[in-house]
Amino acid sequence: MSTVTLTYREASRAGIRHALATDERVFLMGEDVGAYGGAFAVSMSLLEEFGPERVRNTPLSESAFVGAGIGAALNGMRPIVEVMTINFSLLALDQIVNNAATLRYMSGGQLSVPLVVRMATGAGRQLAAQHAHSLEVWYAHIPGVRALAPATPEDARGMLLAALDDPDPVFIFEHATLYPLEGELEETPHAVDIDHAAVRRGGDDVTLVTYGGSLGKCLQAAETLAADGIDAEVIDLRTLRPLDTETILASLAKTHRLVIVDEGWKTGSLAAEVSAQIMERGFDLLDWPVRRVCTAEVPIPYAKHLEEAALPSTERIVHAVKEMAF
């Protein structure tokens, strides 16, 4: 099997390019996705390759272009909608919650909204309180949609392709700090499994459950812990809705300790949902109360040192693990 090395950004682009090249129902639209290549340069050069009918700059109207994506999907197209960041997706939330997520249900299964919406999420780039939140749990709250959080280049490419195969609306959250991350991928683009979490590092002493931009922090924390003789298993949730609790339960059967690392705010977070599901289904497996490492419950600060202080960090993860008795 031959492989290629791509950044997360290039991998996401490779997924979009493959979809545009192989399925004429696919088109990409969003703010500045044309010559500019999108806010994070993901679609760079796609306008030249596929032309303005298929790589389309939209007016600055999130609600309209997400709504138009719903309409196009209803008519058999496979739109990929890019929203610059998750914060701006809030302007389209009514289209998402009330329409995209409900049309199948409200038509007794007759309608289908095969819409894919990608957006950048997360902090770490000094973009402050209106540009840097991790609100993906809000999407994970909505029945009728699927929520994906690629943490690796392979997933950035393959999840997009899997999303396009899904007959229901799929939301893809690309953590903004991951775009330069490099990884090795199979040369031929293909859809990846979007039903299961992945064990990114094996270990017997404690389970770290995370997703997206926090995966790297957890792997780093696992290295630090290893130096102290604590062997952490790291699970990447990958799919935030529906959650794959089985993989976590299987891990806890070995480790009996769970720390959840989530860049969202703790109250009502994905970490809260994972924790609740483990309480319901794996209480007997636990030797220690579940711990959560989340973002401070404040708007994201702008100053670098304050932003860092507000976010989950390797130190905080290590600290949470070390508070447990081994």
Ligand X SMILES: Cc1ncc(C[n+]2csc(CCOP(=O)(O)OP(=O)(O)O)c2C)c(N)n1
CB of 316 to other proteins, least distance (A): 6
Question: Which partner in ligand X, other proteins, none is near 203 (CB below 5 to 8 A by kind)?
Answer: none
- 45 touches 16 (CB < 8 A): no
Element (H, E) at 245: helix 245-255
Residues near other proteins, by CB under 8 A: 31-32, 34-37, 39, 57-64, 87-88, 90-91, 126, 128, 130-131, 296-299, 301-306, 309-310, 313, 315-316, 319
Distance from C-alpha of 72 to C-alpha of 74, rounded to nearest angstrom: 5
Question: Which partner in other proteins, ligand X, none is near 245 (CB below 5 to 8 A by kind)?
Answer: none
CA angle in degrees (0–180, nearest 5) for 145-148-152? 170
CB of 228 to other proteins, least distance (A): 16
Active site residue 190: no
HSE of 313 in the Cβ direction (CA atoms, 13 Å)?
Answer: 12
CB of 255 to other proteins, least distance (A): 23
Task: Tell me whether residue 160 or residue 317 sits nearer to other proteins (CB atom).
Answer: 317
Active site residue 131: yes
Task: Tell me whether residue 119 or residue 178 sits nearer to ligand X (CB atom).
Answer: 119
Element (H, E) at 297: none
CB of 88 to ligand X, least distance (A): 4
209 strand-pairing partners: 235, 260
Task: Tell me whether residue 32 or residue 186 sits nearer to ligand X (CB atom).
Answer: 32
- Positions of E strands within the chain: 3-7, 26-30, 55-57, 78-85, 116-121, 146-148, 170-175, 182-186, 198-201, 206-210, 232-236, 239-241, 258-265, 291-295
Distance from C-alpha of 138 to C-alpha of 261, rounded to nearest angstrom: 17
Point out the catalytic residue in the list 10, 18, 31, 62.
62
Point out the catalytic residue in the list 131, 133, 175, 256.
131
Residues near ligand X, by CB under 6 A: 31, 60, 62, 84, 88, 91
Instruction: Write the single-letter amino acid at 227.
Output: A
Task: Tell me whether residue 39 or residue 198 sits nearer to ligand X (CB atom).
Answer: 39
Task: Tell me whether residue 84 or residue 160 sits nearer to ligand X (CB atom).
Answer: 84
Tokens of 223: 């290295």
CB of 78 to other proteins, least distance (A): 23
Q: Which residues are catalytic?
A: 62, 131
